Amino acid sequence: MGAHDFGVPDIEGLAATARGELVREIDAEGVWAAEPVWREAFAAVPRHLFVPYYYAAGADGHERRWGESADPRDRERWVRGAYEDVPLATRLCDGWLLSSSSQPSLMARMLVALGVADGDRVLEIGAGTGYNAALLAHRLGDDDLVTSIDVDPEITESARRHLAAAGYRPAVVTGDGTRGVPARAPFDRIIATCATTGVPRAWVAQCAAGGRILAPVATGLLALAVRGDGCAEGRFLPSAAFFVPLRGPSPQEPPDVTGVPSRALDDELFRFLLELTRGVLGPREAHRVWQRAGMPGRERYGVTVTPDGAWLWLDDREGPWVWPLPV
């Protein structure tokens, strides 16, 4: 029977085709050239099972797409959209994005940067739809090596359902992600899939010596090497990354940018510094630093975490540009 016989789309066939197209698209970017094992994971894990409905952004706002729609054309659009290389909004509240399935190519870049090896125990902060945990479980070949935590019980419950439907059963915990999951520590890798303002000490404490932490901080991706004495250090990756905040939307008063040139405010890299140093540097002072440092890219910023606190630095942890970072 063909895909459209009697008006009923062949969802699994469409999904397999669309998944193959997504993998080839990411492959063309050379994302996993160094770790092709991730290519197989993305080719195998069915993303559409993790987004039974989602909201696609359009000119008139967000359009809800649902896999159980009575209209077969809507179901076909749903499954095809599930495999587009875009983030998919899965929970909205009063216009705020509360949860989403991240852009697959960004997920691939993060998983490669995480440097997962066979046998590693991995903690994911932010369960989302469960799709990222499924990719990790598939890569490691052992569900018990993967732990995912989220503060919202509705998110963790739906993530468990999606994972079970796809044939994966990692540990999904409801709790405060900033505290990690001490009962299942130590971990060899910790990855956050939600934006943070700093690096919680619990993550460093629960990561084994030689481990790695990858977290979106401000609009960058921070990769930390853990020493095992309560200390960790690393730099930001060059690329930008935009994620839902760790504790959901928390609107802040916009900073007073009086005296800062509009061309600087339009520059993504200046806004990155502005967000990193919010509450520490005033906008005009941040602009002076940015200019004197030659308008630095994300990769020039680093972070050092010790039992006494965390510090953000530009170029050199010994200074002259060093600022405290939340933990």
Which H/E stretch holds residue 78? helix 72-82
Question: DSSP strand E in the chain: where?
Answer: 53-58, 61-66, 88-93, 96-101, 122-125, 146-150, 171-174, 187-192, 207-217, 220-226, 232-240, 301-306, 309-314, 322-325
Q: Domain 8-240, what architecture?
A: 3-Layer(aba) Sandwich (3.40)
- pLDDT at position 3: 45
Whether residue 192 is predicted with pLDDT greater than 90 in this model: the reply is yes
Question: What percent of the chain has pLDDT above 70?
Answer: 93
- pLDDT at position 198: 87
Q: Is 99 a catalytic residue?
A: yes
Q: Write out the two tokens for 132.
A: 């990222």
Reported as a single tens digit per residue, the pLDDT across 289-306 is: 999 999 999 999 999 999
Q: Which amino acid is at 31?
A: V
Whether residue 9 is predicted with pLDDT greater than 80 in this model: the reply is no
Q: Write out the two tokens for 234.
A: 């690393």
Q: Domains of the chain: which residue ranges?
A: 8-240, 262-325
Whether residue 63 is predicted with pLDDT greater than 60 in this model: the reply is yes
Q: Pairing state of beta strands 53-58 and 61-66?
A: antiparallel
Reported as a single tens digit per residue, the pLDDT across 99-151 is: 789 999 999 999 999 999 999 999 999 999 999 999 999 999 999 999 999 99
Whether residue 1 is predicted with pLDDT greater than 50 in this model: the reply is no
Nearest C-alpha neighbor of 136 from the set 208, 51, 41 = 41
Nearest C-alpha neighbor of 77 from the set 9, 13, 19 = 9
Q: How far is CA 287 from CA 260, 280, 283, 312, in A?
A: 7, 13, 6, 16
- pLDDT at position 8: 62
Whether residue 189 is predicted with pLDDT greater than 70 in this model: the reply is yes
- pLDDT at position 46: 98
Question: Using 50, 70 and 90 to split pLDDT, how confident is the model at 202?
Answer: very high
Whether residue 23 is predicted with pLDDT greater than 90 in this model: the reply is yes
Name the least confident of 171-175, 232-236, 305-309. 305-309
Name the least confident of 73-82, 86-95, 271-280. 86-95
Nearest C-alpha neighbor of 145 from the set 169, 115, 121 = 121
**Region of 254 on the Ramachandran plot (φ > 0 left; ψ -120 to 50 alpha; else beta):** beta
Question: Using 50, 70 and 90 to split pLDDT, how confident is the model at 94?
Answer: low
**Region of 222 on the Ramachandran plot (φ > 0 left; ψ -120 to 50 alpha; else beta):** beta
- pLDDT at position 252: 61
Tell me whether residue 1 is exposed, middle or buried, using C-beta atoms within 10 angstroms of its C-beta: 0 to 12, 13 to 18, 19 or more: exposed
Q: What share of the chain is helix, strand, coil (3-state, %, to 5)?
A: 35, 25, 35
- pLDDT at position 59: 66
Reported as a single tens digit per residue, the pLDDT across 213-262 is: 999 999 999 999 999 888 999 999 998 998 877 764 455 667 888 889 99
Backbone CA torsion sign across 125, 129, 131, 133: positive
Given 99, 100, 102, 148, which residue is catalytic?
99
Q: What is the mean pLDDT of the chain?
A: 91
Reported as a single tens digit per residue, the pLDDT across 266-290 is: 999 999 999 999 889 999 999 999 9
